[in-house]
Amino acid sequence: MQGESAGETGSSAELTASKDDYLASSSEDSSTPDELALGLTLGVGDSRLFKSPRAGPVILTAKDLPSFVRASSSPPPPPPPLSASSSSSSSSTLSRAEGGAGTKRGADSVAAPTASSQVVGWPPIKSHRMNILVNTAKSTSTGEFDPIIEKNDSKLAALEKINNVRHDESGNSMKVLCPKTSLFVKVTMDGVAIGRKVDLNAHQCYERLAETLEDMFDHPTTKVNATRSNRLTHHGSAGATRASKLLDGSSGYVLTYEDKDGDWMLIGDVPWRMFLNSVKRLRIMRTSEANGLGSTELYSQFSET
């Protein structure tokens, strides 16, 4: 090891790129507007976040991209979070799918500043703090403690809304209390082609949510909103006595949700507020598909009425 200095020098001479060589080759590889946008594909919906030079989302296929981009043969990731934060497993998906392309683009375009929002792990803020930032920004407008971490899609929307709110209030020193914002998540049901959306923040517990969902999918043309559920609870014990078919397993379906780690979980195990923290979307799944989870004992905590 020590005595091979000649060989070492030789190999490092081969590997050495002089400054000029590098600069020449980097100008060959230097980014075009196409490449600036290349990290932004693969299912990203919100073009507002990724401000590509051209208007609207840019869909690039493998053949649009120069050869240094790895041709992706892996299945497209689930709707990825838009920011490099909060959920580490979905963001490692993000970094796999986008980070390579995105950050490589960053390396090549040293001369052209790229927007910080397009890059994984940048700015270097700890993922734990990301969650706190959202809560801080959100709570100053809601005026109440609300530990809900905004769904990643609407996180930036919430922040932008807060910024607008802030501007309006610049004259006041006190924060104005605004109504709680909504937390809409997608709901799909096995066998039903068209999905729905439900505002989780308008519900107080699993039972209310299940009722809303049953109404939604039993009467698909009915525009169901949360106020209907609220009316039920206002009518005294009406809410408590109506046992939810979804929750007690008698309907042949189980209610599941995808959490921030990308795992599909059964509804009802964790406290409601914690569920709100981690839910990304809902799925009403046939019990036969739920891998043997469809026994009626499952939701025993809901059938105690």
Q: Which of residues 227-286 bind another protein (CB under 8 A)?
A: 270-271, 273-274, 277
Size of the site for another protein (CB under 8 A): 80
Q: Are 15 and 21 in contact (CB under 8 A)?
A: no
Interface with another protein (CB under 8 A), residue from 10, 23, 219, 301: 23
CB of 176 to another protein, least distance (A): 11
- Closest by alpha carbon to 103, among 84, 75, 80? 84
Helix (H, G, I), strand (E, B) or coil at 33: helix
Instruction: Assess 26 for contact with another protein (CB under 8 A).
Output: yes
Alpha carbon 285 to its chain centroid, in Å, reads 21
Instruction: Assess 204 for contact with another protein (CB under 8 A).
Output: no
Q: Are 268 and 301 in contact (CB under 8 A)?
A: yes
- Residue with tokens 């920004």, as numbered in its chain: 137
CB of 252 to another protein, least distance (A): 30
- Closest by alpha carbon to 284, among 236, 185, 202, 217? 217
Instruction: Assess 80 for contact with another protein (CB under 8 A).
Output: no
Applying CB under 8 A, the span of 19-27, 179-187, 221-229, 234-242 interacting with another protein comes to 19-27
Instruction: Assess 165 for contact with another protein (CB under 8 A).
Output: no
CB of 197 to another protein, least distance (A): 24
Instruction: Assess 194 for contact with another protein (CB under 8 A).
Output: no
One-character DSSP codes across 164-218: HHHHHGGG-SSPPP-PPPP-EEEEEETT-SS-EEEEGGG-SSHHHHHHHHHHHHH
Binders of another protein in range 91-120 (CB under 8 A): 91-92, 94-96, 99-100, 103-104, 106-117, 119-120
Tell which phi-psi region holds residue 56, choosing left (phi > 0), alpha (psi between -120 and 50) or beta.
left
Interface with another protein (CB under 8 A), residue from 34, 79, 125, 188: 125
Q: Which is nearer to another protein, 48 or 231 (CB)?
A: 48
Q: Which is nearer to another protein, 114 or 251 (CB)?
A: 114
Interface with another protein (CB under 8 A), residue from 10, 30, 51, 54: 51
Applying CB under 8 A, the span of 68-76, 196-204, 225-233, 297-305 interacting with another protein comes to 68-76
Q: Which two tokens stand for residue 48?
A: 């507002």
Q: Which is nearer to another protein, 94 or 232 (CB)?
A: 94
Interface with another protein (CB under 8 A), residue from 57, 77, 79, 121: 121
Q: Are 132 and 66 in contact (CB under 8 A)?
A: no
- Closest by alpha carbon to 98, among 110, 83, 88? 83
